[in-house]
Amino acid sequence: MVICFVGQEIWFELALLIEDEEFKDMLAQFGDYFAMTPQERNETSNGLYNENNDKAWDGIRFAIRMVVYAGYWFNKSECMQQVIGMLGAEADMSPNTPGRMDKEGNVVYTEVEETEYIRNVQEVEYANTNSISQWTLNYIQTAKIREMMDAEKG
């Protein structure tokens, strides 16, 4: 569950607290794998990552902070551009984006059980505390790391 919610923050803070450059580098390498295409992952890993296990890399909510960290660590501005594109992902039929849309682009609602409220209530699927907080953290951390990268350049 930690990975789903705030795994990246825990890893980043741990790396800072223990002042372990190798651990920081490992986190950046992990983020770099998220930035790769499936073909690049396959080639870089000598076939370890392939179409049989590539779904592990689909979670953009998790990937964004890893990719931006890799961009910062390796000073790769193309990672920052990739993250900006990821942040602009439109809501779809997966839990990767805040709010869920059907194939026609309409918001998907779910009925809340009557026992929860005194009246009928519909909620937007995947517009929950976890999803919205993950996306908020993605924006905050991306903005901060972008600021740090710009400061180092200028």
- pLDDT tens digits, one per residue of 122-150: 777 666 666 777 778 888 888 888 888 88
Indicate the residue type of 17.
L
Confidence band of 56 (pLDDT split at 50, 70, 90) = low
Instruction: Give the model's pLDDT for residue 41.
Output: 87
pLDDT in tens, 83-100: 888 887 665 555 556 667
What is the reported pLDDT for 70? Answer: 92
Q: How far is CA 147 from CA 40, 63, 80, 82, 140, in A?
A: 28, 19, 11, 16, 11
Nearest to 62 by CA among 30, 36, 107: 30
Residue 22 dihedral angles phi and psi, to the nearest 5°: -65, -40
Whole-number pLDDT of residue 94: 58
- pLDDT (mean) for 58-67: 79
Whether 22 shows a pLDDT value over 70: the answer reads yes
Query: Is this prediction's pTM over 0.85?
Result: no
Query: What pLDDT, on a 0 to 100 scale, did the predictor assign at position 128?
Result: 66
